[in-house]
Chains A and B, each alone.
Chain A
Amino acid sequence: MSAFVGKYAEELKQTAKYIATPGKGILAADESTGTIGKRLSSINVENTEPNRQALRELLFTTFDALPFLSGVILFEETLYQKTAAGKPFVDVLKENNVVPGIKVDKGIVELAGTNGETTTQGFDSLGARCQKYYEAGARFAKWRAVLKIGPTEPSELSIQQNAQGLARYAIICQENGLVPIVEPEILTDGDHDIKKCAAVTETVLAAVYKALNDHHVLLEGTLLKPNMVTPGSDSAKVAPEVVGEYTVTALRRTVPAAVPGVVFLSGGQSEEEATLNLNAMNKLQVLKPWTLSFSFGRALQQSTIKKWAGKKENVASAQAALLARCKANSEASLGEYTGVGADGAASESLYVKDYKY
């Protein structure tokens, strides 16, 4: 058969198309318990379930920001949590036309015989888990593959292994009603220039789409979550217009028009940087048949978490910070961002070398 047309095909297409609505994007709030612990400790808050619940409630009840979001990615624990008043988070989101999504991978492990390259785990019982997440209200999933740039990296093994992994994950999701977000993140670590990043991104994306096609994945029912094409973290920065051109060129060469949306990861970019780059991409006067939007974690939450600092009395101002970033990125996804609203925290780099997610 060509593309897989199971019982969820129409729903998958509609969900993917909705998530790719121009002017909307995704809030990635799927930090694992370990990772969210790092965020909390940076504001001297203990990593307990009530605290994790409090942070997420803060985010999801920023009702003014929700119109700018088409989806939120959750961690498993959060999918089953409720507000303090007892309302399931999933219902809060759905009532505000925000589609709940779920991280389904189980982290990365090293590929033996490589120079620190990795593959992603999480296939065991993935189908059954997806079914349960669907029953709990999730309608899309996310799986993060990681590649790096080095003298001999990414290796052919790493490219093939990660591409196959993404494709296998994607088809299992589609069999069970979840739109797969396909995320082949190429880390910015290194001193390579933007051309090198572009070449690697094009090679990786070509392999990813070959694998998706071989696995009969229905492209109309997927989303792509790639890195933007930028210089390495140890290299000189370039203007957003340059990032925009190289990124859109790479996508035009690799992503078929059947894919409804590309929702970028922010990597270690500052909040403002990520917004400016997204804006530059959307201002480019060239044909881009997919929506170009955001799926940001750190680049949406950084200021918010700082302002909250774990204190109830700060909730309102923390929510105001989240609203500002959501609005800015919504404008950027339409190429209409004018740069107003960048404060100190928003310009702070979020890059962490050899970042373990």
Chain B
Amino acid sequence: MASLKLSAPSSQWISGEKHFSRRSCLRTAAPRRVAAGPIRAGSYTDELVQTAKSIASPGRGILAIDESNATCGKRLASIGLENTETNRQAYRQLLLTTPGLGEYISGAILFEETLYQSTTDGKMFVDCLRQEKIMPGIKVDKGLVPLPGSNNESWCQGLDGLASRCAEYYKQGARFAKWRTVVSIPCGPSALAVKEAAWGLARYAAISQDNGLVPIVEPEILLDGDHPIERTLEVAEKVWAEVFYYLAENNVVFEGILLKPSMVTPGAEHKEKASPETIAKYTLKMLNRRVPPAVPGIMFLSGGQSEVEATLNLNAMNQGPNPWHVSFSYARALQNTVLKTWQGHPENVKAAQKALLVRAKANSLAQLGQYTADGENEEAKTGMFQKGYTY
């Protein structure tokens, strides 16, 4: 379990349990919780707020392993393994039984199949996670499909039956959900695509909360394109303005959500790369202009950055206090070296687990603004951007 590192720059802005003690004041009122009950409280509101806070704890972030079977198949294929349930289970077991993972990881996003799987010893994966004080999460969207009337853009499906699915996942032990939609700068983005992305997220978020799951709100602005960083800032500000407005209209409780944005960077094919400091500057500017302080945590996606890049950028963002916990929700940027180390061989499991801890710890330090890249190997520095990547 992560110990509260109160001396870290980021932690002074996080209202942890400590800060709720009240100074004595003129009126002798009974001690009161600081955050007044949200106006639109549902039956799960208190739990949602606690779950979100737990995931947004200092020095910790999210391990995203919710690849669909097809996508997981690509990962396995890259190390010469067949895409079978056994292999998928073996891979996830490797990750989820890594000893001490809970020191750096506060949540793990699972695919539906994984939520119901167990270790070869018969221990449910959700129990492995809970033991490490890692919140189990679940991908609830049903993938991207073409958006008619748009400029070759996509929209995210999954609202039908979402309420009952969330209720079932809650019963199984999930406590947060994730829904990923995308916005493409080379395709515009069109006002239609942005509106649909934002509205879908807002509806999903309201339904999740109604069924006990903290919604992670993820409108990924794809890295594809040759645009400069200023353009990304513009699009990101537009997308987040729309997202927050619709979240408000859907009466979503902001203290019980988490965000999963893409960092503000130039397009992958832009002639100039930006330094971590520049990326931090633009990203924080966007966040300060769009994210209400009530949102407890912002967990960045890595979107094709190399493992080291993703860590350096996160570190740059945590060099000063922020109004929200700024952390990671990485898939490829945590798993790449792990996969390559494992190669599907049982004798490599321990080494692969160590590799996971190396990346997790690096990102934990980055969350605290204390990471240095000394000692990182070349593999970890290799970019993972794939043009037109379908997730």
On A, residues with C-beta under 8 Å from B are 1-3, 195, 198-199, 202-203, 206-207, 209-210, 213-214, 219-220, 239-242, 245-246, 249, 252-258, 276, 280, 283-289, 338-339
> Can you list 12 A-B pairs with a CB-CB distance of less than 8 A?
A198-B36, A206-B245, A209-B241, A213-B237, A239-B29, A245-B32, A252-B292, A252-B293, A256-B288, A257-B288, A258-B288, A287-B14
B4 at the interface (CB under 8 A from A): no
Is there an interface contact between A287 and B237, defined as CB atoms closer than 8 Å?
Answer: no
The 6 closest A-B pairs by CB, nearest first: A206-B248, A213-B241, A252-B294, A245-B36, A210-B245, A258-B288
Is there an interface contact between B289 and A3, defined as CB atoms closer than 8 Å?
Answer: yes
Q: Which of B15, B36, B237 has the most CB of A within 10 A?
A: B36
Chain B 12-31, CB-CB to A under 8 Å as 1, else 0, gives 01110001111101110100
Is there an interface contact between B26 and A338, defined as CB atoms closer than 8 Å?
Answer: yes
Is there an interface contact between B292 and A287, defined as CB atoms closer than 8 Å?
Answer: no
On B, residues with C-beta under 8 Å from A are 13-15, 19-23, 25-27, 29, 32, 34-36, 38-40, 230, 233-234, 237-238, 241-242, 244-245, 248-249, 254-255, 285-294, 323
Known contacts: A3-B289, A210-B241, A245-B32. The answer to whether A286 contacts B19 by CB under 8 A is yes
Which B residues lie within 8 Å of A246 (CB)? Answer: 36
Rounded to whole angstroms, the CA-CA distance of A233 and B13 in the bound complex is: 36
Contact of A206 among B19, B244, B287, B323 (CB under 8 A): B244
Known contacts: A2-B237, A206-B248, A241-B25. The answer to whether A287 contacts B40 by CB under 8 A is no
Q: Which of A195, A214, A253, A276 has the most CB of B within 10 A?
A: A253
Q: Is the interface of A mostly helix, strand, loop or mixed?
A: helix
Closest to B23 in A: A283
Which B residues lie within 8 Å of A214 (CB)? Answer: 241
Known contacts: A241-B29, A241-B32, A286-B35. The answer to whether A254 contacts B248 by CB under 8 A is yes
Closest CB in chain B relative to A339 CB, distance in Å: 5
Is there an interface contact between A253 and B234, defined as CB atoms closer than 8 Å?
Answer: no
Which A residues lie within 8 Å of B255 (CB)? Answer: 253
Contact of A219 among B21, B38, B287, B289 (CB under 8 A): B289
Which B residues lie within 8 Å of A207 (CB)? Answer: 245
Known contacts: A207-B245, A241-B32, A339-B26. The answer to whether A202 contacts B39 by CB under 8 A is yes
Which B residues lie within 8 Å of A257 (CB)? Answer: 287-288, 291, 293, 323
Is there an interface contact between B248 and A203, defined as CB atoms closer than 8 Å?
Answer: yes
Closest CB in chain B relative to A243 CB, distance in Å: 10
Which B residues lie within 8 Å of A219 (CB)? Answer: 289
Is there an interface contact between B15 and A285, defined as CB atoms closer than 8 Å?
Answer: yes
Closest to B253 in A: A253
Q: Which of A198, A220, A249 has the most CB of B within 10 A?
A: A249
Known contacts: A213-B237, A253-B254, A257-B288. The answer to whether A289 contacts B293 by CB under 8 A is yes
Which A residues lie within 8 Å of B20 (CB)? Answer: 285
Closest to B25 in A: A283
Which B residues lie within 8 Å of A213 (CB)? Answer: 237-238, 241, 289-290
Rounded to whole angstroms, the CA-CA distance of A214 and B234 in the bound complex is: 11
Rounded to whole angstroms, the CA-CA distance of A288 and B294 in the bound complex is: 9
